[in-house]
């Protein structure tokens, strides 16, 4: 049973601040994803899957915008799931599944969703597995439903400019870490490992991810668009771009 985290709101805020150091335009990309969801439901409350949803960032923003939405959050990380379970108690369904295996959708409470959203999460999967996952996501979408994935997706046509943009972002982030303005990824996990409620879950996480995660793999946006087209979606395209990051969208 997932434990109740009494200070989940504080950990959620801390996580959001740490993530925003990597992604200064994080809220803008979320708003753009939810704009797309709004268009496919014609104002009706959406049935939405927050894939690899972590602490529930997308789920919380979905419910703030669509209070009657039916939200499912899926992740594998026990520490992040504990924060999400407490933060979303009574408002969303939280399930545990491993996206590296093709049977992940068996854990879902619904057969079809209006939208599947994911952000800064699927770059841990290798190419063949991510391509397979794109096809599997199509199977849990209703006709006309959408998948949107926001992640590190460089623009093929701007390789040198992308390098400069990335270097500048890294320098700004390093300065913020040095000044103590925000926690880094590793510092956040070190703090979580000292929390009495989260510490055993961090230990479980380390057993699941003994090397942290698989190596990051960040192909250009063209790879994602080609993989989505190969998966059989009716429409694929780029919904949003910010520097070296982008959100691709696919319509079943």
Section 152-173 average pLDDT: 93
SS3 (DSSP) at 247: strand
DSSP annotation string for 175-217: HHHHHTSS--HHHHHHHHTTSTTTHHHHHHHHHHSTTSSSPP-
CATH number at residue 66: 3.40.50.150
| Residue 74 maps to a domain | yes
| Residue 21 maps to a domain | yes
Smallest Cα–Cα separation from 242: which of 166, 134, 157, 160? 166
Read off the pTM.
Answer: 0.95
What pLDDT shows up at residue 4? 73
| Residue 1 maps to a domain | no
Section 148-163 average pLDDT: 94
Facing residues of 138 across strands? none
d(CA 47, CA 214): 30
| Residue 178 maps to a domain | yes
What does the pLDDT look like over 189-203, one tens digit per residue?
Answer: 999 999 999 999 999
What pLDDT shows up at residue 216? 78
- Expressed as residue numbers, the domain containing 141 is 8-251
What pLDDT shows up at residue 52? 98
What pLDDT shows up at residue 1? 64
What pLDDT shows up at residue 42? 87
Q: What is the mean pLDDT of the chain?
A: 94
Section 221-231 average pLDDT: 98
| Residue 65 maps to a domain | yes
What pLDDT shows up at residue 250? 98
- Contact criterion met (CB below 8 Å) for 37 and 115: yes
| Residue 2 maps to a domain | no
Q: What is the phi/psi pair of residue 78, to 5°?
A: -65, -35
Name the domain count of the chain. Answer: 1
d(CA 76, CA 96): 5
Sheet order of strands, 245-251 included: 93-96, 70-75, 47-51, 113-119, 141-152, 245-251, 235-242
What does the pLDDT look like over 19-58, one tens digit per residue?
Answer: 999 899 999 999 999 999 999 998 899 999 999 999 999 9
């Amino acid at each position: 049973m997932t434990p109740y985290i009494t200070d989940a709101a504080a950990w959620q805020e801390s996580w959001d601040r740490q993530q925003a150091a990597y992604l200064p335009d994080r809220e803008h990309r979320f708003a753009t994803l939810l704009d797309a969801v709004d268009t496919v439901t014609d104002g009706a409350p959406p049935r939405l899957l927050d894939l690899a949803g972590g602490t529930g960032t997308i789920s919380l923003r979905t419910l703030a915008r669509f209070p009657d939405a039916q939200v499912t959050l899926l992740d594998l990380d026990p520490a992040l799931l504990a924060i999400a379970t407490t933060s979303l108690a009574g408002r969303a369904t939280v399930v545990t599944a491993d996206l590296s295996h093709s049977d992940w959708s068996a854990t879902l409470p619904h057969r079809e969703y209006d939208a599947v959203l994911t952000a800064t999460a699927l770059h841990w999967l290798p190419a063949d597995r991510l391509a397979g996952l794109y096809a599997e996501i199509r199977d849990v979408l209703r006709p006309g439903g959408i998948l949107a994935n926001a992640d590190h997706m460089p623009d093929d046509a701007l390789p040198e400019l992308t390098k400069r943009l990335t270097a500048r972002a890294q320098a700004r982030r390093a300065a913020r870490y040095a000044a103590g303005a925000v926690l880094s990824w590793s510092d956040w996990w070190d703090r979580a490992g000292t929390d009495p409620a989260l510490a055993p879950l961090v230990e479980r996480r380390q057993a699941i991810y003994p090397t942290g995660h698989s190596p990051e793999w960040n192909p250009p946006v063209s790879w994602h668009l080609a993989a989505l087209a190969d998966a059989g979606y009716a429409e694929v395209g780029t919904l949003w771009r910010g520097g070296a990051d982008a959100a691709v969208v696919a319509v079943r």
